[in-house]
Amino acid sequence: MSCLIGKIMLKLTKMLSLAGTFIVLGTIHSAQGAVVVSPSNGNPVEKITGVEVLNSDGSAIEIFTVDFQFDTFVTTFGNTPSSQAFFLDNSDGALLALTAINDAMNAMTLTNQQVRGITSFAPDSGPIINLMNYRIPILFDPNDNEVETMIGQFTNGAWVGGTTQMELADGNPPNGLVMYAKFTKTGEIDLTPTPPTVPEPSNLVSILVCGVSLLFVAKNRI
């Protein structure tokens, strides 16, 4: 009898372990990839949707729509910066976001006549198209009227970046006018593993009793 119960326990342990594995695997996320929005097959870029950035503690993937605005920092984000300046004081996150944006634009399929560029509306001169760089603000100093930005730019046939530069945060055009990336968070994917559900001890005993009973019934019928 003890041998029989031992075999049943072993089978149940394997089943519970396998169930737990399926639960953990179910939390693994497969990136869907960002989508570049443009009026004519990539020329110029107006916005990028579905930009995925791992958060600072690795517990979630945050999803953004990225718009672009050619303006001063203060006009774009405000004196008390809005949430669209999402990566202020987070240069590591800004670098991940910049990489995701560059990857999306580098993945565009363009003909030789098309130019990879970004479009926006400037305050006094109307639309600006095919601007070959953009900036993500990472530090704002209102006392000195300065903002530190991380730069993405089109160089040698590809979007690259990661260098930083100080900009004038506010001023009359053209002073301080740059192409800023504005982030609107649209979703989040939780990466926290879900612990496997293990039956209560009382339920486990019930399962064992039922299993043993069924085995005895089957044996008596033979």
End-to-end, the C-alpha distance of the chain in Å comes to: 18
Provide mean pLDDT across the span 172-198: 86
Distance CA 172, CA 177 (A): 9
β pairing state of 133-141 and 146-155: antiparallel
Distance CA 94, CA 66 (A): 12
Q: Which residues, 6 or more positions from 64, have their beta carbon under 8 angstroms from its beta carbon?
A: 51, 52, 53, 86, 97, 183, 184, 185, 186
pLDDT value for 51: 95
More confident position, 172 or 198: 172
Our CA angle for 49, 88, 82, nearest 5°, is 70
Our CA angle for 51, 103, 161, nearest 5°, is 105
Buried b (16+ CB within 10 A) or exposed e, 44-78: bbebbbbbbbbeeeeebbbbbbbbbbbbbbbbbbe
Distance CA 214, CA 205 (A): 14
Q: Which residues, 6 or more positions from 159, have their beta carbon under 8 angstroms from its beta carbon?
A: 101, 102, 105, 106, 116, 152, 153
Q: Is 130 exposed, middle or buried (0-12, 13-18, 19+ CB in 10 A)?
A: middle
Our CA angle for 64, 69, 71, nearest 5°, is 140
Distance CA 45, CA 117 (A): 6
pLDDT value for 200: 61
What are the Cα distances from residue 147, in Å, to 15, 119, 120, 164, 192?
Answer: 57, 22, 20, 10, 35
What's the pLDDT tens digit per position in 40-49? 554 578 889 9
What's the pLDDT tens digit per position in 50-93? 999 999 889 999 999 999 999 999 999 999 999 999 999 999 99
Q: Which helix (H) or strand (E) holds 152?
A: strand 146-155
Range of 79-83, 104-108, 110-114, 129-133 with top mean pLDDT = 79-83
